[in-house]
Amino acid sequence: MSASPLRVGIIGVGMMGTDHADRLVHRVAGAELVAVSDPDAARAADLAGRFDGVRSVRDPLELIAAEDVDAVLIASPGLVHEEQVLACVEHGKYTLCEKPLTMDSESSLRVVEAERNKAGRPLIQVGFMRRFDPEYAEMKRLLDSGELGRVLLVHNTHRNKTVPDSFRSDMIVSDSLVHEVDVCRWLFDDEIEAITVLAPKPTGKAADGVVDPQVAIFHMAGGGMATTEVFVNCQVGYEVRCEAVAELGNVTVGLGQNLFVRRDNHYGGHIPDDFRDRFARAYDLEVQAWVDASRRGEVVGPTTWDGYAATAVCMAGVESLATGRPVSVDMADRAEVFRGAGT
Ligand code: ISE
C-alpha cells in the first residue's frame, strides 16, 4: 500500500458528489480531497471553499489529467460518464464511477474494452453500493457458504419517498431498478437472460404519464428467478428490502429493526428519507474499499463488466415496460471480450 494518501478529485457535486466529498474529508482514511468540478462553477467553488486545500476546476477533463489527482470519483449524471471514464482510462487513473456506468450497453462495452485494451488492467469500480452494505454483504456470505443450499428466488422491494417530476418511467428502470439488477446478478452469481417489466395501475402521486410502481421479473440464465417492486413515489420513506429464498432457508435484508421504540401509546422505528441515510454505512465502506484498493494498485467491488451487464439488462427492461412482455438481454460474450486478458 502506498504510504502517501490517495489524492482524489470529484466530478459532479450535486447530491451524491457533495455527500462523497464530506465522506472523503471526514470519514474515510488514507484519502485527500484535492479538487472538485461541476458544470455549475459556483456550486463547485462553494463546496471547495468548505474544505482546506481543495480547488475547483472548471473542466472535468482537466481535473482528470491533473498531476496532483491520483484517482477520480465520478458523481456526474450518467449522460456524461462515457467521456469522463474513458479519459480516466487514458490517464491511468483509478476511478469510482457512480451508477449507471453509461446510458446504453454499446457505450458501456466501449468502456469495458478501453479498460481491457488501453489500460491493460482494471482501473474502474462501479458504484453499486449495496454490495458494501453490512446486511447485504452478510447475506451474500451466507448464500455463498452453501449452508442454505442453492438460491432459488430473490424478492426485492425498492421504494423512494418521492422523486422529482423529471424522473420518468424509463429512469425508474435505469436509475432505480439498476441496483436490483446488480444485486441479483451478484447474489445468484449469474447473468440475467431476460427481463419482464409490468406496469400495474399507477399511483396518483406520480407525475402525469409516469408508470409508478413497476414490477420487474428477472429470468436468470441458470433458471433462478427474481421479482422486484420499484415504487418511487411511495410517500412513506426510503425502503429497500431483499429476500433470498434458498433450498434450506431464506434470508432477508432491510427489515429495519435496528431501533424499536415504544412511547406515548405508539411503537415503531424510523424510516429514512432517502438513500444517503439508509445506505450511509454502505457508502462509507464502499469509498473506503475503493481508496484502500487504489493505494494498493487494485480494483475491488463491481467491475466495468458488472456496469455493462446492468446497463444491458436495463435497456431490455425499458423495452419490456412498453409491452409487458419478456425481452431477452442482448450481451456480448464475456469470454470473447476478455480473451487473453486473464480476467
Ligand atoms: C438513485 O439514483 C439511487 O441511486 C438510489 O440508490 C436509488 O434508490 C434511487 O431510486 C435512485 O433514484
Q: How confident is the model at residue 259 (pLDDT cuts 50, 70, 90)?
A: confident
CB within 6 Å of ligand 1 — which residues?
160, 175-176, 179, 232, 275
The enclosing domain of 26 has a CATH number of: 3.40.50.720
Q: Do 31 and 112 sit in the same domain of this protein?
A: yes
| Residue from 129, 160, 283 whose mutation best tests the ligand 1 pocket (most atoms within 8 A of CB) | 160
Residue 342 domain-assigned (yes or no): no
Reference 283, options 99, 159, 102, 54; nearest CA is: 99
**Distance between Cα 171 and ligand 1 center (Å):** 10
Looking at residue 340, what is its pLDDT?
76
Q: Are 260 and 267 in contact (CB under 8 A)?
A: yes
Atom of ligand 1 nearest to the CA of 279: 6
| Residue from 166, 176, 210, 279 whose mutation best tests the ligand 1 pocket (most atoms within 8 A of CB) | 176
Nearest CA to ligand 1 atom 8: 176
Phi-psi region of 265 (alpha: psi -120 to 50; beta: other; left: phi over 0): left
Q: Do 138 and 69 sit in the same domain of this protein?
A: no
Looking at residue 257, what is its pLDDT?
64
What domain count does the chain have? Answer: 2
Q: 260 versus 18: which is more confidently predicted?
A: 18
- 3-class SS shares of the chain: helix, strand, coil, % to 5: 40, 25, 35
Note the pLDDT tens digit of each residue in 96-117: 999 999 999 999 999 999 999 9
Note the pLDDT tens digit of each residue in 283-327: 999 999 999 999 999 999 999 999 999 999 999 999 999 999 999
Last residue of a domain, one of 275, 293, 322: 275
Q: Are 284 and 28 in contact (CB under 8 A)?
A: yes
Residue 237 domain-assigned (yes or no): yes
Residue 329 domain-assigned (yes or no): no
Looking at residue 229, what is its pLDDT?
98
Range(s) of the domain holding residue 171: 134-275
Percent of the chain's residues with pLDDT above 90 = 94
Does residue 342 surpass a pLDDT of 70? no
Average pLDDT over every residue of 197-205: 97
Q: Are 42 and 97 in contact (CB under 8 A)?
A: no
Q: Sort 3 into a burial class: Cβ within 10 Å, 0-12 / 13-18 / 19+.
A: exposed
**Distance between Cα 43 and ligand 1 center (Å):** 22
Other C-beta atoms closer than 10 Å to the C-beta of 225 total 15
Q: Do 84 and 146 sit in the same domain of this protein?
A: no
Give the CB-side neighbour count of residue 249, counting CA atoms within 13 A.
9
Does residue 214 surpass a pLDDT of 70? yes
What one-letter code names the amino acid at 191? E
Nearest CA to ligand 1 atom 7: 176
Looking at residue 158, what is its pLDDT?
98
Does residue 343 surpass a pLDDT of 70? no
Residue 55 domain-assigned (yes or no): yes
Looking at residue 1, what is its pLDDT?
78
Looking at residue 261, what is its pLDDT?
87
Percent of the chain's residues with pLDDT above 70 = 99
**Distance between Cα 275 and ligand 1 center (Å):** 7
Residues whose CB falls within 8 Å of the CB of residue 42, separated by 6 or more in sequence, listed in order: none
Residue 151 domain-assigned (yes or no): yes
**Distance between Cα 148 and ligand 1 center (Å):** 30
